[in-house]
A and B are shown apart, each in its own frame.
Chain A
Amino acid sequence: MTELPFIILGFAVLLHVVFVSITIGTGWISAYSRLMAYLKKDSELERVSRSAFRILVVFELFSGVWGTIITVVLAGFFPTLIALATNVLFAPLLIALISIMIRIPSIAAFWYTWGRIDPRVHSAIGLLMAISGFLIPFGFRTLFSEINSPTALGQFLSSGLADPFAAYLSGLFWVLYLHSIFASLSVGGFVVAYLMAEEGHEKGVRIGYRYGLGFLLLQIPVGAVHWILLGSRSQYIFEAITYGSFMPVLVLKVLAVLTLLSLGLKGYLEGKSVFAKYSAFLSLLAVFLGELMNDGSRYPFMVVITEGGIPISSFANFYIEIPMAAVYVILGFLLLSILVFLSALFYALFRRFLSEPI
């Protein structure tokens, strides 16, 4: 019985990736806008920075919670995979862990020192926050690239040893990483554009669109290179998404990206804020579909090795009979937490509860 754990893991990963694409993107936009606001003495950029930061703050902890959930799901349902990863990918996972430890305090420091310390120092804290955000996937994405096309894992499986940084020798990792970062910045831009449109801040909308469109245009060729690389390094996934069961997802993703591009361009060129809502939704949909393809198309393998792989069951938990009653209760309560969080999100961003003086 490995299907349900695989679905639960997939659900947690999808939710986490969608949330963190917002936080990583808005983190950079906030930090960079803050720096530019200081350098150019531009109060409107300052407002963009604050709005982007407000989005980040609301999403950050909840997205982090789902990261923790992934860890527990992996350890509980796929103990062999986590035992292997903590050995073979020790160094990359450590990079991610240290980055998390820098990221959250730097968010707090950025927030609480706003306007109270030298703007240059404040901007530096913001940049630390943004860069630590980029470094988290720099660690964790190695796991995704390794299970798509093993490099470090390959070394280990063939010789019993692996270089601690071998995962970074994989070309697929770098393309996947760049694609993830560009997607985050693009999503961050479109989400900021949406919030600024809600607040009637025209310049903010244009800045958001610029990020959204600029990084979408960078993301498209990187995505194509990723697809081509999968064709030579991870044929099983390539075939599943190109001709197989995940082809509809690929088609949907391409459609979502093209629609996003045209809507975004129209919104930006014609100055139509009304499109910002759809652009934000489509950008998140594109991330969702992309991750769904990347993670789901490996089924029934956990680690894909060219045209075959190591089945999910090889990593699954057989040490106990999984108590399904507990699993269903947990899923129910996790859904409750999502509903509560969405309510909080609504109040924080759209009713502007978080933004008003207390």
Chain B
Amino acid sequence: MVNVDSLLPLSAFGVYCHAVFISITLGFPPAIMALLFKYMKTKDEEYFRTAKTMTWVLSLNFALGAITGTLVEFGLVQAWPGTIIAIASFAFVPLALELLAFANEIAFLVLFIVTLGKIRTSRSIAILAVYWIFAVLSGVLITAVNSWLVAPWGTGEVPSALYPFMPDFGENSVDVQKLVAIKIIALASGLPLQAIIQNPEVAEKVGVILEDPYVALYNPYAAASAFHNISAAVLVGLSIALLAFSVGWQKKKEERFLKAVRVVSPLVLVVFLIQPTVFGHLMGESVVGYNPTKFAMMEGAHQTLYSPLLSFVAYGDPNRPIPGFDELKKRCEEHGGKRLDDLALSVGLDRDAIIGIAGSLGVNLDRSRTEEVLDTKLRDLCLSDLSRAEEKTEILHYAYYTKIFFGILGFLSAIALFAALRTVPVLSKVVKGILGERAVFLLSVGIMLGSTVPSALGWYVREVGRKPWTVYGLLYPDELVSVFEPARSGGFALFMALVIASVVFSGLLAMYIVATRGRKSEELSGGDEND
């Protein structure tokens, strides 16, 4: 088996770095629009200046988001080229549509930056709104691609044929025979998929593997993920802005900071009221429905659980048990003595056919190894993969409940901040009485922690929760990794991690400088540098 131990953390690191910038990309525009709207209504220049500073941070952030996005995208095709077959099939439509979102996103952002203050404020707000819509669309489409990895919609009963505890992933849109053949060839060759799909003419020989190229867009898991993830990113972006203003207010006691806090905090409250409750519940229902191993891991369910509250939240039925790994393992026993060979035969592939197909695709299979793979008992495969998932139960369980704890902290902080800034009977007095003058700052810290920690841990749960597979129930990471051996070395991962860390650190530092010394971004005038 190919070792992917160093590449997986590197990819995760790259994605997390990208997520920092994505959050600002999605969260800052609503705050800027709100500030501009306030400026339009009050004519108070301080709102405009704050919006302007945020715009410069946003522009720099966009550049860094684009770099880290390129890194993630390139990382995907360069480090995990096996995913190219998914990009060319299931992910084709969402990724292609994402192009139009991305191109328009940058075009409208540039237009907004160069025209801000030169045209009517209402028009600037409209331009920024269009930019934000494209940014959200981009996020929705990328989330759809990721969601397909977590719940491979359109593969119907294929995953449950291997793992009986798996649900059906929609109506079958795939050519099962071809998918099974490719999977078995990859297993029997011991090589990643890239070794097959890089050979000229392979795509033509394999032919259509997916009947409905739009299938990733119909994925119910994608819909829940889009609401949940995008709103979480918006929340993180807004929380960063809120904390920045609160720190300014705490340190300098300048009224402009408090004004900005007053504008941003209602937005934070609104998103906090919906995100973890409505969207979080939708997401949870999707996990329950489509990721049985992840659900068991999240609940620490080595054994089947009986928890009326949890069951009511998950199923709306307090009497229904939460299936643990013991139950999932029982389902593996349903395979009886069936082997991979039987599965292949059920879709019309005998041993000679598989070796013949492999040869036509430019892959020479060793007959004895192929037979060894085909003799694999499906029950053993199922149990072995369940054990690999179960190994991560503890860490995932604690990550999930830590996320919940911080989410509650953020939720309460958002309500308390609202009360601290406005007059809410009883609550305002209580908050001010307990936290005093530092209420704005402390509650902003609470909001920041309550948005970023759950986001980071939520993503961890999402991604680690689908292990040992990269495409849930279908493909492992070592089947998708690069055939280029040095790319899988620890040295390469360390080198790339250092490059990424340097770039991200420099970027964050630059954003801090822009945010705290706003006028330094205005030096392309050709005038006095010290203006």
Contact = CB atoms under 8 A, between A and B. Distances in A.
B176 interface: no
B77 A319 contact: no
Nearest to B362: A160
Given A50-B526, A51-B526, A57-B524, A330 B96 contact: yes
A102 interface: yes
A341 B106 CA distance: 8
A57 B210 CA distance: 42
Nearest to A50: B526
Contacts of A80: 197-203
A243 to B, nearest CB: 28
Contacts of A357: 522, 525, 527, 531
Interface string B103-129: 110111011011101100000000000
B455 interface: no
A79 B110 contact: no
B209 interface: yes
B69 A68 contact: yes
Given A65-B103, A104-B67, A344-B114, A358 B52 contact: yes
Contact of B206 (A112, A115, A319, A358): A319
B214 interface: yes
Interface stretch (B56-64, B268-276, B323-331): B56-64
B513 A112 contact: yes
A67 B70 contact: yes
Majority secondary structure, B binding face: helix
A220 interface: no
B114 A68 contact: no
A357 B526 CA distance: 9
Given A71-B77, A75-B84, A79-B87, A97 B483 contact: no
A86 B70 contact: no
A338 interface: yes
Contacts of A115: 523, 529-530
B88 A334 contact: no
Contacts of B89: 319-320
B103 A76 contact: no
Given A112-B514, A317-B88, A86 B78 contact: yes
Interface string B71-88: 101100110010011011
Given A337-B100, A337-B103, A358-B52, A310 B200 contact: yes
B2 to A, nearest CB: 14
A61 interface: yes
B64 to A, nearest CB: 7
B62 A61 contact: yes
B103 A321 contact: no
Interface stretch (A255-263, A279-287, A348-356): A348-356
B352 interface: no
Contacts of B209: 319-320
A358 B106 CA distance: 21
Nearest to B73: A71
B37 interface: no
A7 interface: no
**Looking at A54, A66, A75, A315, which has the most chain B CB atoms within 10 Å of its CB?**
A75
**B-side interface size class:** 35 or more
Interface stretch (B292-300, B366-374, B498-506): B498-506
Contacts of B23: none
A329 interface: yes
B114 A97 contact: no
B351 interface: no
Nearest to B76: A75
A305 to B, nearest CB: 11
B77 A318 contact: no
B66 interface: yes
Contact of A90 (B108, B482, B522): B482
Nearest to B48: A358
Contacts of B499: 98, 101
Interface string B42-53: 000000000010
A112 B521 contact: yes
B74 A97 contact: yes
Interface in A51-77: 51, 53-54, 57-58, 60-62, 64-69, 71-73, 75-77
A65 B99 CA distance: 9
B66 A334 contact: no
Given A65-B102, A83-B84, A75 B77 contact: yes
Contact of B70 (A97, A107, A343): A97
Contacts of B103: 65-66, 69, 333-334, 337-338
Nearest to A347: B114
Contact of A105 (B114, B200, B482, B503): B503
A319 B60 contact: no
Contacts of B482: 86-87, 90
A317 B206 CA distance: 10
B486 interface: yes
Interface in A308-349: 310, 313-323, 326-327, 329-330, 333-334, 336-338, 340-341, 343-345, 347-348
B494 interface: no
A338 B88 contact: no
A109 B512 CA distance: 12
A179 B200 CA distance: 30
B194 interface: yes
A88 to B, nearest CB: 8
Contacts of A345: 110
Given A68-B73, A72-B95, A320-B213, A83 B197 contact: yes
B92 A344 contact: no
Interface in A107-163: 107-109, 111-116
A355 B514 contact: no
B412 interface: no
A353 B530 CA distance: 20
A82 interface: yes
A330 B207 CA distance: 24
Contacts of A66: 103
A200 interface: no
Contact of A112 (B113, B198, B510): B510
B266 to A, nearest CB: 27
Interface string A224-242: 0000000000000000000
Contacts of B214: 323, 326
A248 interface: no
Interface string B344-375: 00000000000000000000000000000000
B102 A326 contact: no
12 contacts: A60-B63, A80-B200, A87-B483, A93-B74, A104-B63, A105-B507, A105-B510, A315-B200, A321-B208, A341-B107, A344-B111, A358-B521
Sorted from nearest, which 3 A-B pairs have the closest CB atoms?
A: A115-B529, A333-B100, A337-B103
Given A108-B510, A318-B207, A319-B207, 11 more contacts: A65-B66, A76-B95, A80-B202, A90-B486, A107-B63, A319-B89, A323-B213, A326-B97, A333-B103, A337-B106, A358-B52
Interface of B: 52, 60, 62-64, 66-67, 69-71, 73-74, 77-78, 81, 84-85, 87-89, 92-93, 95-100, 102-104, 106-108, 110-111, 113-115, 117-118, 194, 197-204, 206-210, 213-214, 482-484, 486-487, 499-500, 503, 506-507, 510, 513-514, 520-527, 529-531
